[in-house]
Each structure stands twice: as C-alpha cells, then as structure tokens.
Amino acid sequence: MHRRGFVTLACCLWLAGCSGSALLPAPDLPTTPVILDETAAAAAISRYRASHGLGPVTVDPSLIRAASFQAQSNAKAGHLSHEVGGTFDARLARAGFGGRYAAENLSAGSTTFDEVLRRWQNSPEHNRNMLMPQVRRIGVARVDAPGTRYKRYWALILTSP
C-alpha cells in the first residue's frame, strides 16, 4: 500500500511536469504603484528629443493607464516581458490607440526616472523608440515589487497622435 501511494504520487508529479505550468499558478507578487510626475518625465523626454531636432511629447492619460497596466503586470510576474500583459497591439487598442507609430520601453531596477531615462538612452533599441519622429504622446509608469529581484518596474509607451 505504501509503495502504491508513492507510485501514484510520482506519476502525478510526472504528469504535472508534462502539463507545463497549468498546475502551478503564475506569480502574483505584491506590488505598489508609484506616483510619478509624468509632466516632468515628458519634459525630460522632450528636451532629449529637442537635442536631436525632434518635437516634444505630451502626457496622455490613456497611455499612463496602459503603461501602469504593463508595469504592474511585469511587477506581479517578477520579470520583464512585453507580452506578460498581453500583446502590445492588443494593449494599445484597449487604450484607444491603433497608431501606426507606437513603441514600448520597459526597464527594471532603476530608482528614479532620470536613471531609467539614461538606461533607455544608452540602449540602441529603446533610444530609437524615444527618437521616433512621429511620436507625440507618452504614458509612463513605475510599479514597485519589493519581493522581486529588480524591485522596481518601469513602462514607457510612446505613440503618434
């Protein structure tokens, strides 16, 4: 009887391994949204864009909500992924944008907006997103998850009008 119980348990564990993560819930770590000065963030991005001969950006409340959703999704998962909250196109459509020009920058670990902005400027792909000539609107958010490796999760969404 003892052996049969062990074999049953071993088979269940083996089957659970075959089924992927269906039996194991995705991490849902405690998070705290951080209140940012989005206007100051837009001004900093606009100054950077101006130094490259590009027009300014303005804050869009719908994009702030979309960025907050993605930062929160990443913080709850404890890692960075552009897909963790759904596809970028689907999230953008939910925010009311279907713009031809749109991009998303994610980051984790930075304590301040200035720090994350420097990281994005030093990353060729993220920098290219911030310097898209067609971009005019942004939403930015940070969500903290103290129990995770990175502690702080950032999302920046940029779109054309």
Chain segment 43-71, per-residue pLDDT in tens: 999 999 999 999 999 999 999 999 999 99
Residue 21: pLDDT band by 50, 70, 90 thresholds?
Answer: very low
Please report which residue ranges of the chain form alpha helices under DSSP H.
2-18, 38-50, 61-77, 88-94, 113-122, 124-130
Domains assigned to the chain: 58-159 (3.40.33.10)
Confidence (pLDDT) at 66: 95
Report which secondary-structure segment, H or E, holds 109.
Answer: none
Residue 42: pLDDT band by 50, 70, 90 thresholds?
Answer: very high
Instruction: Please state, in angstroms and rounded to a whole number, the distance separating the CA atoms of residues 65 and 71.
Output: 10
Confidence (pLDDT) at 12: 32
Q: What is the amino acid identity at position 40?
A: A
Share of the chain above pLDDT 70, in %: 83
Confidence (pLDDT) at 24: 34
| SS3 category, 130 | helix
Q: In this structure, is the dihedral angle defined by the CA atoms of residues 71, 63, 92 and 104, taken in order, positive or negative?
A: negative
Confidence (pLDDT) at 9: 29
Average pLDDT along the chain: 84
CA atoms within 13 A on the CB side of 7: 4
Chain segment 75-111, per-residue pLDDT in tens: 999 999 999 988 999 999 988 887 689 999 999 999 9
Confidence (pLDDT) at 27: 61
Instruction: Please state, in angstroms and rounded to a whole number, the distance separating the CA atoms of residues 84 and 115.
Output: 24
HEC secondary structure over 68-107? HHHHHHHHHHCCCCCCCCCCHHHHHHHCCCCCCCEEEEEE
